[in-house]
């Protein structure tokens, strides 16, 4: 079951003090895909980081994106989240929402969450407080400072602690967590916003084998409820979670399909494995 997101964006007066145009309406996934990337190009000083990139994501799928260094994987996430503007091409959330018309802030609010490689948690707050802050981030400063958690919100935080495997560390300062635990906490913080699409850039880099395995389980548990895109170098990790793998090379899709098919694709072997 997809949960209908709250897409109302207030015209002004959010915590950052910026004014934003109103965006409303549900994400129309009646044709299957939740995200369309069509012919998107991005140049940096004449160099095409994305070169006519096209692919779609189905609602609720767990997609892995691989490709050699410089293939455009991070730029792809930047362009979906509005951090970088496409020079040309179309980006649609569902059938109706044109992402190229929204600011980075509005794209986040409409339900596209993004995690960078380095964990960014509030180190001087406890794990529980980090989740509470993430949950209330869109309620404005007043509510965040003065409102008590409702019983339902308290339940949500407890459930998330269990989901990300940090119940035992609930009262620890986030700064004292291991690298892997910080990554889980940040994923939990993103999930508190109940994003439609979650973009994760190299989530298991620097993790122990055990942490990597637990991350695989966590990401698999998200499929169905969220659409998840994982950029990752760790091929063992990718084969353990991937349904569909998209291989990027020189800013466009080189191959796409199930892991075993992609792994045996001659072009992929050539460019990705460097043979």
The C-alpha atoms of residue 254 and residue 55 are separated, in whole angstroms, by 11
Q: Give the interface segment with Mg ion, choosing from 69-77, 96-104, 128-136, 235-243 (CB under 5 A).
A: 69-77
Residue 89 makes contact with ligand ADP by CB under 6 A: no
Residue 67 is a binding residue for ligand ADP (CB under 6 A): yes
Q: Which does 203 bind (CB under 5 to 8 A by kind): Mg ion, ligand ADP, none?
A: none
To ligand ADP, the closest distance from the beta carbon of 58 in angstroms equals: 23
Closest CA to 42 of 84, 73, 86, 104: 86
d(CA 111, CA 26) in angstroms, rounded, equals 11
Q: Which of 236, 202, 203 is nearest to 218 (CA)?
A: 203
HSE-CB of 162 using CA atoms within 13 angstroms = 5
Q: What residues between 13 and 52 interact with ligand ADP by CB under 6 A?
A: 44, 49
Nearer to ligand ADP by C-beta: 107 or 135?
A: 107
Q: What is the DSSP letter of 18?
A: -
Is residue 81 near Mg ion by the rule CB under 5 A?
Answer: no
Q: Given the complex with ligand ADP, which of 30 and 69 has the nearer CB atom?
A: 69
**Pick 164 or 255: Cβ nearer ligand ADP:** 255
Residues whose CB is less than 8 angstroms from the CB of residue 240 and which lie 6 or more positions away in sequence, other chains included: 213, 216
The tokens describing 6, both together, are 């709250």
Q: Should residue 263 be labelled a site residue for ligand ADP when binding is judged by CB under 6 A?
A: no
Stretch that binds ligand ADP, among 17-25, 62-70, 89-97, 190-198 (CB under 6 A): 62-70
Query: Measured from the CB atom, is 61 or 232 closer to ligand ADP?
Result: 232
Cβ atoms < 10 Å from Cβ of 225:
15
Q: In this chain, which of 36, 62, 74, 110 binds ligand ADP, going by CB under 6 A? A: 74
Is residue 74 a contact point for Mg ion (CB under 5 A)? yes
Chain-centre distance of CA 70, in angstroms?
20
User: Looking up tokens 């919100």, which residue turns up?
Assistant: 153
Would you tell me which residues interact with Mg ion (CB under 5 A)?
73-74
């Amino acid at each position: 079951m997809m949960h209908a997101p709250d897409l109302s964006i207030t015209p002004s007066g959010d915590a950052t003090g910026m004014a934003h145009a109103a965006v409303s309406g549900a994400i129309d996934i009646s044709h299957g895909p939740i995200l369309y990337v069509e012919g998107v190009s991005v140049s940096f000083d004449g160099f095409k980081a994305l070169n006519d990139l096209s692919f779609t994501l189905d609602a609720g799928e767990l997609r892995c994106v691989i490709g050699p260094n410089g293939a455009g994987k991070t730029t792809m996430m930047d362009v979906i989240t509005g951090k970088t503007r496409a020079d040309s091409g179309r980006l649609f959330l569902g059938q109706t929402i044109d992402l190229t018309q929204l600011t980075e802030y509005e794209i986040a609010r409409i339900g596209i969450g993004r995690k960078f490689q380095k964990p960014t948690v509030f180190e001087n707050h406890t794990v529980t407080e980090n989740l509470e802050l993430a949950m209330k981030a869109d309620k404005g400063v007043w509510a965040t400072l003065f409102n008590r958690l409702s019983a339902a919100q308290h339940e949500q935080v407890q459930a998330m602690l269990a989901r990300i495997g940090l119940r035992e560390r609930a009262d620890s300062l986030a700064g004292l967590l291991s690298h892997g635990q910080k990554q889980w906490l940040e994923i939990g913080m993103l999930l508190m916003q109940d994003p439609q699409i979650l973009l994760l850039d190299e989530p298991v880099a620097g993790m122990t084998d055990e942490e990597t395995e637990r991350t695989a389980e966590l990401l698999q548990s998200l499929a169905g409820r969220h659409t998840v895109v994982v950029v990752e170098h760790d091929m063992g990790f990718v084969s353990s979670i991937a349904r569909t793998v998209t291989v990027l090379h020189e800013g466009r899709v080189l191959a796409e399909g199930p892991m075993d098919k992609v792994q045996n694709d001659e072009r992929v072997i050539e460019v990705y494995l460097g043979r």
